Every structure is written in structure tokens, then in C-alpha cells.
Amino acid sequence: MNKPHDAGTAGTIRLQLPNAQSRHLFPDISDLAARLRFSPTDGGIWLDDRRMVLLHNASLFSLRRELIETLGIEKTRGILTRMGYLSGMRDADMVRRVRPNSSDFDTFAVGPQLHAMEGFVSVETVDIDVDIASGHFYGEFVWRNSSEAEEYIAAYGIGNAPVCWIQQGYASGYVSNFFGRQMLVREVECKAMGHRACKIIGKPLDDWDDPDKDFRYLQAEEFVQSPAARIFSLGGKTAAKDPATDKINLVGVSAGFNAVCHMLQRVAPTRATVLFLGESGVGKEQFARTLHNISDRAEQPFVAINCAAIPEQLIESELFGVEKGGFSGANQSRPGRFERADGGTLFLDEIGTLSLFAQGKLLRALQEGEIERIGDTRVRKVDVRVVAATNEDLRQLVEAGKFRDDLYYRLNVFPVSIPPLRERKEDILLLVEHFLNRYCAIHKRTVTGLTEAAVEALMFYSWPGNIRELENIIERGVILAPEGGGIDVMHLFTSGEQIRQDCFRIGGTGLLQGSPAQGGAPEGAAGGLDATLRAALAGGGFSMDTLEKMAVDLAVDLAEGNVSAAAKMLGTTRARVAYRLSGKKVPHPADE
């Protein structure tokens, strides 16, 4: 059997298979099958390091039917599509562990083969056109023996719409993770509609004329930003609005993200005080703005104040205002944040930094719904919904006597915990594309996307600064990347960020490849790899002699000229390093 190969340059796949007899070109599946382990005595089934469950297809379809009867078709399709999407994203994480030195096509085939091995569907390639460097992807595949279509036909007969929702979500999640760019796979033919088999087409989200038709099912709530609402598309295309003016700016598909969105939807119509909890940079203010925008206060002011940024002696006047002559220098009356937010929402960020005195003043305003300006005796009624946020543990602050327990219970009516980005890995690629769109337009730059090495680095980085850090790093990459080129690792991690060195290894082609193994994070940007070496490896087109010389030069530099120490770093002999330093080709060990 002939296998497809990379035509032209590395990172490209050109394959058209009009002949049905030539469609089964996937590599041998034994390497994947070897990673599936059954432990019946312990009640465990494992695919690599992830636990699996063997479930009756009829039971899964029964769940689908009950969900439809309870929630309706649209919500059920969304739930099942998101379930498939997350599964596809996770399976893509296995790719380079399984076939680190294989051709691009054989590596890509891990997804379709896993999908078959997991019992969902048999995949056949019809047409695939890929250029990894530029982010181009077009794929056309046939699904045979679809588990979803089979059960649907048995229960309902032939219908008028595609029904392979889990499988479609899986395919979108897998190719998005694989290519490091948001892709959308659409089922254009379905056996449950009377076609001979199911057929799907996949391509980048921006290449679809109507992406929201299917992509909306990845969004748990309607207020989550959809492709149709995006202002900028990759490559510098712009629309009329500035992205900073978007009223709703939430991006994500992960289970944790969707859980937060569900909670916002439930509390938005009420008057309840909301307390957002989460690490710095997780987007607490964005969620607070969204809560305001989907509530019945959306047309009224949203006023934000960072409690940590206001000096203690000014916090009372900032919150409640000041009357002319209220204190030295108060030459005119000025309303505080409560008055400015009247009828709308007041967002108190970093609430845990308030002094006990300020906490007491705030508590009275919350309890009574009224405030007094400094220097004034008149009580003013205000209708304000208070939304607070903190990255601290308020319970611990209460126990330590640093936060009033009565204020804590007043604020903690409806707590919403926002997960950190390291627990929302499925959202990283969506956020990356969102920020690429934004900053390509703002800085009038054009980039093709991210290199494979850059995607690996982003996926394995721990993100201590969460989404704020991701946004800054992507903006940095847009600025540093060559015009019309791709963003590489060296364009992203330039400030000493610690990423796992085991994300990278030299593959059989001599190029830098992802290798998600175990281990801790080494010191230095990009795991201590020299930026020049990384760039050269990612770009390709150089000899192994050049690679060896660069490695030797770097080792000698790190060893401060000590050839023996450099040889020890490289795991070779001093004579071999000295020979390379002399400018000659490194001899074969047998020649030494």
C-alpha cells in the first residue's frame, strides 16, 4: 500500500483520492492499539495515561434522546458537540508521543484512527490539502459505520439534517489542536439523511462564509463571543468597529468556562450580589462586564474601581463622593462611584485589599442602599448592583481578622469561581486566534499563525499570569514575528518565562518537534534553548553539521570556554568537541 508523502517542502500535504480503492491509506494502527490497556480486575480501561469507559452505543443514544426531550434539539446538540470537541482536543495531545518521527500525514492520521479505535466511526480520506507553515488546511473525509447515524436511523428512520454531533465536535477539536488554529469541521452529508455515507469538510474558521451555523454549538451560552461577532480576521482584514468597544468579549469552549457562563446566565436577571473568585489575570472584570451586559441593567452605567489602586485616605471619597468644602482641597462637589453607577452595576475589583474602616463604610451602603458624600449630611438613595472580585481567599482573611465577616457574608451571596488558564487548555487556541486577530489589526501586521513548536510551548506552559499573560505574549509575538511569516517560540517567550524543555526534541528529520513527556520546568526562556537555535530548527533548511556546530558553540559558551565541561554537557568526548571547534567536520566515533 502506498502511503501519502509530503510533496514539496516539509509541513505540506497534497493528496487527492478520487478512487475509492486508494482511500485506505492510514498507517498501521498497532502503535495506537498498544496504548489501549484493559484492567478488568481493577475496573480500569486506559488509553495511554487517560482513563476510558466502554459504553453501550444504545445507552449513549438513550441519553441523547432524553436530553432532547428535556432540553430540546439545539441545547442537546450543543452539549454533545462540546463533549466531542473536548475529546478530540485531548486525543490530539497524544499525537507527537505516538508518532514523533512520522510524516505529517501519518501523524495527522492519529486522530481519525483513534476515532475508529474508540468505536465511533471509520474514516476515509478523500481530499486533503495542508500547508502547516501558513496555517492552510482543507480536508474532505468520508465517515462509514457512524455510530450516531446508525442509532438514529434505527430509532427514527431517515431525517432531514446531519446527526453526527459528537463526531463533528471531535473532528473540529482534533484538527484545531493539531494545527494550532481554530478549525471547523462540518458534516455536509449524513447517512441519516439518506446518503450512502457521512461526509465532512474541514477548514479554518475564517474560511467559512457562515461559521456560526455550526460553531455556535461550541458555545454554552448565546452571549459568548461567536465568529460572526468578531471584528478582525487573521491576515489584517478589518471591519468598522474597534475591538475594544465590543460589549461582550468572552471566548472559550472548555467545561470550566462553560460552567461559569451557565452561572452568569442564571444570576444575570436577579439583583443578587456576585463575588468573582480566581487568580490574577483570569478575566474577572470581563466576566463582570458580561454579567452587566446580559442583565436588565445593560443600558445603565457599568462602573469599575480597583480597590488596590486607590490610597486608603481617598477610598471613601472615591466610593461615596465629596461635597464642596468637605475636606481641604475639595473645591467642588463630586459624585462617587456609587452615584455614577446608579441604576447600573458597580464592580469592586481586589475587594480584599480594602481597609477595615473602608469595609465598614461599604457594608452600610450595601445594607441600606444609601450613601453620604464626605462633608454632606444628606443621605442619597442609590440603586446599584454590586459585583466584587478577589484573587485572595476571603475566608482566610476573615479568620486572620483582616476582613469583616459581616461584609464577607454580604458579598458572598452568589460566588463564581473562574478556573485558571492551565485548567482551560481547550480554550488556549481560541484565545490565541482572538488575540492574533486583535493585535494584527491594531499594529497593522500580518502573520500566518503560529509554528508547531510555538503551539506546543503555549499548550505546555503553566500560565501563572493566566489570560492577561497570554494576551501580552501574543501581542509580543505579533510585533516580533516577521511580516507575512509565522510566530515562533523565540517571538513569544522573551522575558525569562519558564516552559518545559521536554516540550521539544529533535526528530528524525532534524527539526524541532513537540515531545510532551514528564518532568519539571527548567530555567530560562523556552526551556533554556538558545533562541537562535530554536529559530533555525523551526525554519528548517540547514544541515546536521550546522546544527551540531550551533550546539557545540552554545555548550562552549555556557561552559565559559571549558571544552571538557562543554563535552560533558553534550554527552560526548573532549576530542570530538575540540575537533568541531577547529572548523572541521565532526569525525565518526570510529575514526577518533
Please state, rounded to an integer, the average pLDDT across all residues of the chain: 81
- On the 0-12 / 13-18 / 19+ scale of CB atoms within 10 A, 332 is exposed
Band of pLDDT at residue 4, cut at 50, 70 and 90: very low
Domain extent listing, the chain: 12-218, 255-417, 424-591
User: Which tops the pLDDT comparison, 223 or 103?
Assistant: 103
Q: How far is CA 39 from CA 32, 57, 119, in A?
A: 17, 21, 19
User: Which tops the pLDDT comparison, 223 or 449?
Assistant: 449
Instruction: Tell me what the mean pLDDT of segment 127-140 comes to.
Output: 82
Residue 374 per-residue DSSP state: B
Inter-axis angle of helices 284-293 and 255-267, to 10 degrees? 40
Per the confidence metrics, is the pTM higher than 0.85? no
Q: Which range among 180-189, 219-228, 352-361 shows the weakest confidence by mean pLDDT?
A: 219-228
pLDDT at 325: 57
The CATH superfamily label for domain 12-218 reads Trafficking protein particle complex subunit 3 (3.30.1380.20)
For 277-323, the pLDDT digits (tens) are: 999 999 999 999 999 999 999 999 999 999 999 888 888 889 998 88
Handedness of CA 360, 362, 368, 373 (dihedral sign): positive
Taking 70 as the threshold, does the pLDDT of residue 448 lie above it? yes
CATH topology of domain 424-591: Helicase, Ruva Protein; domain 3 (1.10.8)
Instruction: Tell me what the mean pLDDT of segment 434-447 comes to.
Output: 92
Band of pLDDT at residue 450, cut at 50, 70 and 90: confident
- Say what the alpha-carbon torsion angle 375, 379, 380, 382 is, to the nearest 10 degrees: 120
- Cα atoms found within 13 Å of the Cα of residue 388, Cβ hemisphere only: 27
pLDDT at 528: 38
Instruction: Tell me what the mean pLDDT of segment 14-35 comes to.
Output: 67
pLDDT at 64: 92
pLDDT at 302: 96
The reply to whether CATH 3.40.50.300 applies to domain 255-417 is yes
pLDDT at 141: 94
Strands 385-390 and 345-349: parallel
Taking 50 as the threshold, does the pLDDT of residue 338 lie above it? yes
pLDDT at 501: 47
